[in-house]
Structure 1
Amino acid sequence: MYEPIRTKSVHSPADDAEYPHRSREEELDIQLAGHLAALLAVTDELGLDEAAEAIAVQVARLRGAPPARHTARGGAGAEALHRRALALAGRALVVAASRADTAVAILSAQRMDAHTAALESRPLVGV
């Protein structure tokens, strides 16, 4: 009554050798380098050169190459940049902790403290 299936099912699992696989550590390195690179861009935009250099060192260590840097200033205000940097540093801290990267965890925590202090020292607008 039914004709037998003569082709390979599209639902059958693919051969593992066909796709490249990364270890969990490699995936975490990529994710951490991405968070740090984004934090570096915001830190550069804020003009925090010493902090930017420390972040750039860690990005270079994780990627094996120096990070691309941009020096153009965007139109975002300092408060918005500090908030973005605080969020990015928090993300980097979470990944660094799961990867047991003490150097990046310390750096991320320091950046979080610095951006929190910068936000607290600014007068509240619209309150």
Structure 2
Amino acid sequence: MYEPIRTRSVHSTMAGGTSDFPHRSREEELDIQLAGHLAALLTVTDELRALAPSPDLDTAADRLAEQVARLRGGRAAVRAPLTAAHPEPHLAALHRRAHTLASRALVVAASNADTAVAILTAERMDAHAAALEPRELASR
């Protein structure tokens, strides 16, 4: 009733077979994804540092850059220059964006069992939530 398969599958996983494309492990894929989330969070953190400098944000940016470099095998993250240009309402949007990025990174860090990044991102989520509370309550 059906015609038999006459060629080898392109998805073959036979031992000893060579592959024309590189394979990455699940851990490597998660590291790549996590480094991307942390690099995005670092960019937003650098922008926040430009608008509202604080020692907490400086420390967070350094810790984020360190983790991105670790996940990327020593390659440093690209850093945004510190130049303030936007008004105050932009600050709340940046805190919301940073909170969202930190939560995404936390999910990937938990999946990858990366405790150091999980702790760092949870701390950042708390910090950005705290920065939003007075503004969010005042606007209601």
Note closer, same or farther for the CA distance 1:116–1:61 as it changes in structure 2 (3 Å cut): same
Is the Cα–Cα contact under 8 Å of residues 41 and 69 in structure 1 kept in the other structure? yes
Name the structure 1 match of 2:75. Answer: 65
Note closer, same or farther for the CA distance 1:73–1:22 as it changes in structure 2 (3 Å cut): farther
Instruction: Provide, for residues 46-84 of structure 1, a one-character-per-residue CA deviation record: whole Å limited to 9, x for no partner.
Output: 002221011101001101211110114464700000000
Whole-Å separation in 1 of the counterparts to 2:127 and 2:32: 25
Name the structure 2 match of 1:121. Answer: 134
Whole-Å separation in 2 of the counterparts to 1:125 and 1:116: 14
The CA RMSD over aligned residues, in Å, is: 2.2
Name the structure 2 match of 1:52. Answer: 61
Q: Runs of at least 4 residues of structure 1 off by over 3 A? A: 72-76, 123-127
Name the structure 1 match of 2:115. Answer: 102
Q: 5+ residue gaps in structure 2?
A: 1-5, 13-17, 50-56
**TM (normalized to structure 1)?**
0.83
How many percent identity over aligned positions?
64
Whole-Å separation in 2 of the counterparts to 1:83 and 1:109: 14
Match status 1:17 vs 2:19: yes
1:121, CA displacement in angstroms? 2.0
1:126, CA displacement in angstroms? 5.5
> Which letter does structure 2 place at the counterpart of 1:101?
D
Note closer, same or farther for the CA distance 1:85–1:119 as it changes in structure 2 (3 Å cut): same
Match status 1:92 vs 2:105: yes
Whole-Å separation in 2 of the counterparts to 1:126 and 1:80: 14
Whole-Å separation in 1 of the counterparts to 2:60 and 2:85: 19
Whole-Å separation in 2 of the counterparts to 1:74 and 1:98: 37
Q: 5+ residue gaps in structure 1?
A: 1-7
Find 1:81's aligned residue among 74, 81, 94. 94
Note closer, same or farther for the CA distance 1:74–1:86 as it changes in structure 2 (3 Å cut): farther
> Which letter does structure 1 place at the counterpart of 2:115?
T
Name the SS for the 2:19 alignment partner: helix
> Which letter does structure 2 place at the counterpart of 1:95?
V
1:40, CA displacement in angstroms? 0.1
Name the structure 2 match of 1:5. Answer: none
Name the structure 1 match of 2:36. Answer: 34
Is the Cα–Cα contact under 8 Å of residues 44 and 52 in structure 1 kept in the other structure? yes
